A and B are shown apart, each in its own frame.
Chain A
Amino acid sequence: MLTRVRRWGPGLLLISPSLLLLGVFVYGLIGWTIKVSMSDRHTAAESDGFVGLSNYVDLFTNDINGRFLHSLRNLLIFTVVFLLGTMLLGLLWAFLLERGVRAEGLFRTVYLFPMAVSFVASGVVWRWLMNSGQGDDAGGLNAIFGQLNLDFLQNPWWTDPEWGMVAMAVPAIWQLSGYVMALFLAGFRGIPAELREAAAVDGASTFQLYRRVLFPQLTPVALSALIIVGHMSMKMFDLIMSVSGAQWLTEVPAVYVWQTLLTSDYAKASAISVILLLLVALVIVPYLVQTMRTERRS
């Protein structure tokens, strides 16, 4: 026992500042936010009246124009398109590259480079590309479509009131498909060569090889990719602020929090934040627990 203390006492000393900081700044502040979300602090003035869950109920039932539900709908459309786009492109790119092609490094580097750029910077160019003008006023991508006689592709992008969020997902897909590719590529490369050899010996066609041997091996990678990209999607803020700015059409919960804070409605902003946290936790916590469990087993 004493040797254990002697050996690990300094270790505890080494990690305790970090644990303390995280305890306070992650869990402590989350607790604080939850407390504010149950108070009536709707103005800059301090107020600690406890109102239970009524701020949450109001968001769902009593928000002007159903604003919160609208932001959730936007988030849902964005997330579905973003996930589909990154998963399909990422898998396709990894598939095209996995058996080794000439200049593989070049393709990989280019496909992945948008990850190194901030959403704020890429938003500048995507705002220009997704110019909503059409016909003679066409700009950006619509102008290219016009020049290529693909006028039917011209569209109002994110300014479309119904499906604008589909367009908003385009820059996000551009930015993160390379990341998903890198994950899948690592997955492909991690598959033991014997599996391919065995399949070849059994006379499997290329199609069968992928369908029955390789793709099933990628399931864990696909799951990680879905969860990582999915949780990023729920937190999406920078990109939307930079492409459209904060406005009704493209509002998602993360932007709604910011807009609400500008009016000093701390209680409401906190309630939205907590819902956002719950959404993310719903995805992340099972993933973390499962990962830890698998790790312990091996």
Chain B
Amino acid sequence: MTTTTTRRTSPPAVATPPQKRRGPAAGVIGRTLRYSLLLIFLIIVLMPAYVLVVTSFKSGSDIGVNGQWNLPEKWSTESWSKAWTALGPSFVRTFQLAIPVALISSLLGAANGFVLSRWRFPGADVVFTLILFGMFIPYQAVMIPLRDVVSTLGIAPGIPTLIFVHCVYGIPICTLIFRNYYATTVPVEMVEAAWVDGAGLLRTFRSIILPVSIPGFVVAVIWQFTSAWNDYLFAIFLSNTRNGPITIALNALAGAQSPDYAASMAGALITSLPTLLVYVFLGRWFIGGLMAGSVKS
């Protein structure tokens, strides 16, 4: 969506430079205030991360009520190995879940996005709106029959079932990502030139569109990988601690009445590590998915 701008009459060619209304002192104060605020918020946002790291390296006796916020007296990896024992198998399973989901969803999204970005058939908008609505629904509204349906379809419980449902319910967002991508970055002329040359739709898609789709794929793959990795709702409804992903295992580790906080926090870090690494190294693309999520192209 483009924002309509109320354009003012353009300034005269020889515009007087904007007057400085405040002295340099005000500028310094303003800047100091700005950076102080930014820094304070930085500390606040990072505080939970500090607690996670520090607590995860404490050993049992070190986690009293006193000195909770202090650094460990003795850095110990005991809790990390405890957490790994609890989460290791599900950690591997979650990769087996998130990677296929990311690949299959993006391929489906690329195909749908291409067709919907170029083909203005009657009712295309309605169809697209109906597709998009699927990404906003509370999944509780489909979850109850969904359990029965996937078992009727004969999909194996646990990871295979989760792969299937994440791919299905990932279609809307992936379609949106690619539709916006093709609508804004692939010139119409390119497609039309291919058609003039006699290439059919599938051929055009394969040899003209797919090669320039890498940025779209990176965004979609990252988005789907992260959502599948971080999902808890589908996981709790459709799997259990023995065959489910890591969020279920972490909740079992941390959810006890009097949890072992050191191990839970090491577990939370292990759980978050893959998505955090993706975010740190591919942040720009990660944000691309976020922006697509707000529908606007």
- Chain A residues at the B interface, C-beta cutoff of 8 Å: 6-8, 10-12, 14-15, 17-19, 21-22, 25-27, 29-30, 32-33, 36, 89, 92-93, 96-97, 101, 107, 109-129, 133, 137-140, 143-144, 147, 174, 178-179, 182-183, 186, 190-192, 194-195, 197-198, 200-201, 203, 205, 217, 220, 224-225, 228, 231, 234-235, 237-238, 241-242, 245, 254, 257-258, 261, 266, 269-270, 272-274, 276-277, 280-281, 284-285, 287-289, 291-292, 294-296, 298
**Residues on the A chain within 8 Å of B129, using CB:** 288-289, 292
Which A residues are CB-close (under 8 A) to B213?
none
CB of B190 within 8 Å of the partner chain: no
B interface size (C-beta, 8 A): 107
Provide a sorted-by-A list of 13 A–B residue pairs whose CB atoms are within 8 angstroms.
Answer: A11-B115, A14-B112, A21-B168, A26-B142, A33-B141, A111-B42, A118-B271, A121-B272, A125-B52, A194-B7, A273-B140, A277-B137, A284-B133
Partner of B230, one of A25, A30, A117, A285: A117
A231 to B142, CA, bound (A): 17
**Does A93 lie within 8 Å of B251, measured CB to CB?**
no
Q: Closest CB-CB distance, A183 to chain B, in whole Å? A: 6
The 9 A-B pairs at the shortest CB distance, nearest first, are namely A118-B230, A200-B18, A116-B279, A29-B142, A277-B141, A121-B268, A32-B145, A124-B268, A273-B140
The docked-state distance in angstroms from the alpha carbon of A273 to that of B65 is: 41
Cβ distance A198 to chain B, nearest Cβ, rounded Å: 4
Cα separation A68 to B295 with both chains bound (whole Å): 32
- Inter-chain contact A228/B5, CB cutoff 8 Å: no
Q: Are A116 and B168 in contact (CB under 8 A)?
A: no
Q: Is the CB of B2 within 8 A of A298?
A: yes
Given known contacts A101-B38, A241-B236, A273-B138, what 14 new A-B pairs fall within 8 Å (CB)?
A18-B108, A18-B112, A25-B149, A30-B137, A109-B280, A116-B272, A118-B230, A124-B254, A125-B268, A183-B291, A198-B8, A277-B140, A281-B137, A284-B136
Enumerate chain A residues within 8 angstroms of B69, measured Cβ to Cβ: 143-144, 147
State whether A22 and B138 are in contact (beta carbons under 8 Å apart), knowing that A101-B38, A228-B294 are contacts in the complex. Answer: no
- Shortest C-beta distance, A128 to chain B (Å), equals 6
Partner of B146, one of A18, A25, A234: A25
Q: Do A33 and B293 touch (CB < 8 A)?
A: no
Bound form: Cα–Cα A224–B291 in Å: 10
With most chain A CB atoms within 10 A of its CB, the pick from B19, B136, B195, B229 is B136
User: Are A124 and B68 touching (Cβ within 8 A)?
Assistant: no
Query: Any chain A CB within 8 A of the CB of B84?
Result: no
Question: B residues bordering A, Cβ < 8 Å?
Answer: 1-3, 5, 7-8, 10-11, 15-16, 18-19, 21, 34-35, 37-38, 41-42, 45-49, 51-52, 55, 65, 68-69, 108, 111-112, 114-116, 118-119, 121, 125, 127-134, 136-146, 149, 165, 168-169, 171-172, 175, 195, 200-202, 205, 226, 229-233, 236, 247, 250-251, 254-255, 259, 261, 264-265, 267-269, 271-272, 275-276, 278-280, 283, 286-287, 290-291, 293-297
Instruction: Among A18, A97, A107, A277, point to the contact of B138 (Cβ < 8 A).
Output: A277
Compute how far the CA of A217 lies from the CA of B3 in the bound complex, rounded to whole angstroms.
8
Docked complex Cα distance between A118 and B232 (Å): 8
Contacts of A266 in B (CB 8 A): 144
Q: How far is the CB of A65 from chain B (nearest CB, A)?
A: 22
A122 and B230 alpha carbons, distance in the complex (Å): 11
**How far is it, in angstroms, between the C-alpha of A26 and the C-alpha of B293 when the chains are bound?**
18
Q: Which residues of B contact A273 (CB under 8 A)?
A: 138, 140-141, 143-144
The distance in angstroms between the C-alpha atoms of A92 and B231, with both chains bound, is: 30
CB distance B251 to A118 under 8 Å?
no
Contact call A29/B146, Cβ cutoff below 8 A = yes
A166 to B265 CA separation, bound complex (whole angstroms): 24
Contacting pair B136 A270 (CB below 8 A): no
| A122 contact from B115, B136, B268, Cβ within 8 A | B268
Q: CA separation between A261 and B146, bound complex, in Å?
A: 13
Complex CA distance for A261 and B296, rounded to whole angstroms? 36
The reply to whether A174 and B48 contact each other, CB–CB distance below 8 Å, is yes
Are B52 and A179 interface neighbours, CB within 8 A? Answer: no
Report if A228-B201 is in contact (Cβ < 8 Å); known contacts: A110-B45, A198-B8.
Answer: no
Complex partner residue of A291 from B138, B172, B296, CB under 8 angstroms: B296
Let me know if A129 and B51 touch, CB within 8 A.
yes
Q: Are B144 and A33 in contact (CB under 8 A)?
A: yes
Q: A242, B202: Cβ atoms under 8 Å? A: no
Given contacts A116-B278, A174-B48, A228-B293, contact A29 B138 (CB under 8 A): no
